[in-house]
Chain A
Amino acid sequence: MSTEQILSSDGLPLEVSLRKAERKNKLKALFLVGPLFLFLIITYVFPIGDMLFRSIDDRKITKMLPNTFTAIEKWDGQNLPEEPVYAALYEDLAYLKKTKTYGKIIARLNYEKGGFSSLIKKTVRKLGKFEDGNYKEQFINVHKRWGQPEYLVALKNAAPNWTYAKYLKGVDLKFDQNGDIVQQPEDRRIHKILWLRTLKVAFWVTIFCFILAYPISYLLATLPMKYSNLLMICVLLPFWTSLLVRTSSWMVLLQQQGPINDLIVMLGLAANDNRPELMYNVIGTFVAMTQILLPFMVLPLYSVMKTISPSLMRAGKSLGGTPFVAFRKIYFPLTVPGIGAGSLLVFILAIGYYITPALVGGASGSLISNTIAYHMKSSLDWSFAAALGTMLLVGVLTIYWIYNKLVGIDNIKLG
């Protein structure tokens, strides 16, 4: 090996000089991406992390009942706890009564076990009459539930700072009194159905989109430019039109006195006074979502089909294949990347759909996003909404990761 170094014009070894120049270019590129990157980290990535945090955060109640939770930690959960636990509970409740903030623990404890609402309210009301010493007996005299171990177990279960109870609730499981994971009671198992329905709708919408998109993408890719440009408008106009406009047009079409029902009656498929319900159920969700997401399937398929040379099919046919065989053995395999890209895109978008199911889906056609919105806006169980959101997010990011591996993010095409 030669020991002589090649020097650049400024007297540095070439290798060092090159590395310096490359580092400068690298920094320049990073500097350009920097502003958007920082902006997204602060306003987007950090808030999503915060949401994840919120779903397991249970510190609010720990702060409100600090003495009780310290005292109850040593209790084994079998027989009734000893005097110190009740004394600590008295101290905490007296403070909460003084600051008038005891209402906040009621809701939280009611999630743990029903019946805490009246228990806490009654106890707080009578707190002024308590005498020093022998708190255990006085508590049980105020309300007999203080003498039932399951209520104290529930209290103990609420003690840890962090909990994944909301995630269990999201798949219809819960902690029982002994801290074991069990199924929710039968009438409360609603989330598993919801997850399955969301997956089912996303899956079938993807299939329908594929079936409808494949023939028209082929037509668009094989027609001469001047015709295909015109037809492309049929795909792009819905793509550029407001989602709410498209959903409202489906509401017009599918309503009971709407054109589609008129047609069904006219064809004699149903009696006029017995018009089928096309909206506010899962049919409405299927039809509207398929039409709305169809362009997202057509565009990737079209851009792949556009690159397939027609001479390949001609070669297949000239070698003795029927058009069907040529299609199956030559054309179809070449379009698989487009099918993958389109299907993953449609599936990702469908699984998180909110507006359309909320407007045309009714109760039986609503999806997981609608439940998240319900807990955000109506029941105000934000940590549960955050837990469901995190579960959905993990699912979507997994598909996104697969998409990135198979298709590559840079290959997303828009119009």
Chain B
Amino acid sequence: MTRSHKFAGAASLLALSAGMAHADPALMFDLGGKFDKSFNEAAYNGAERWREETGGSYREIEMQAAAQRVQFARRLAEAGSNPVVVMGFQNAPTLEEVAPDYPDTSFVLIDAVVDLPNVRSVIFAEHEGSYLVGMLAAMANETGTVSFVGGMEIPLIAAFACGYAQGAKAVNPDINVIVNYTGDTPAAWNDPVRGGEIARAQISQGSDVVFAAAGGTGLGVLQAAEDAGVFSIGVDSNQNYLHPGSVLTSMLKLVDQAVYDAFTDGPGLETGVVQMNLAAGGVGYALDEHNEHLISDEMQEAVEAAKAAIIAGELSVHDYREDSACPAF
């Protein structure tokens, strides 16, 4: 090793330790990748917002295989990243294994609960937000049929469908709710062509409001709804702008906010379970200049009343995940 090499080595070591002192946060995406137009991308947007506002930097990593869950979580903690934000319920076992080994690192798990002293678990009340958009769907509906396009038939997505159906039936008990799922492979989350096909099939069965909770697949659903001149409902992020006049509203799930909060709170953040429900503003329906002419004052009043009732605890929306059953079907 030459002298200059030694110097470079020392400098990089210094840089490394300086980085550790700053303790940059890290974001670990779930399988599906950063730009899935949905869950992971919302996390990315939250992290980017934090970067723009604070001028800080963060480390991010995308996975290719499930074996990398534990591997990457460990590497991030070892590299001194703090807090480490981990996306997706499939990472609950990951943190159960990794978090106890790094007690000084704060972990944040989005979409599932892990009961450990250095883990913050952020869970969303998707059923509550879906209930509200279900009400809007039933109020905008004229044919007596509304529909839902899910990604994969897993409990999480079934909770969207169940909340949606409950909301729709609260407005119109006789309404027919068609539910279809895109597929059983990860491709189901990113198959807009198939999403469009399913939406068209539902529209031909009389549906005039289609709610998509299927990641990138939903883009095809929204397009098909606009082509057919019916309403659609977006998901996760505010998708009203995609097809103004056709997207009735969007079911908001503020994953970006959860990531932004975690990054802002920094190392040593408060742990425990964070409920991102209607009361906390973690879920909701989107109302902006693109859809305000679609949502009449009566519709908005009805939804706001239901929202207040849910927050006050007077109205309870059944969560499919509690007992794997849905009273609305």
Binding partners A and B: no
Using CB atoms and an 8 Å cutoff, list the residues of chain A in contact with chain B.
Answer: none
Using CB atoms and an 8 Å cutoff, list the residues of chain B in contact with chain A.
Answer: none
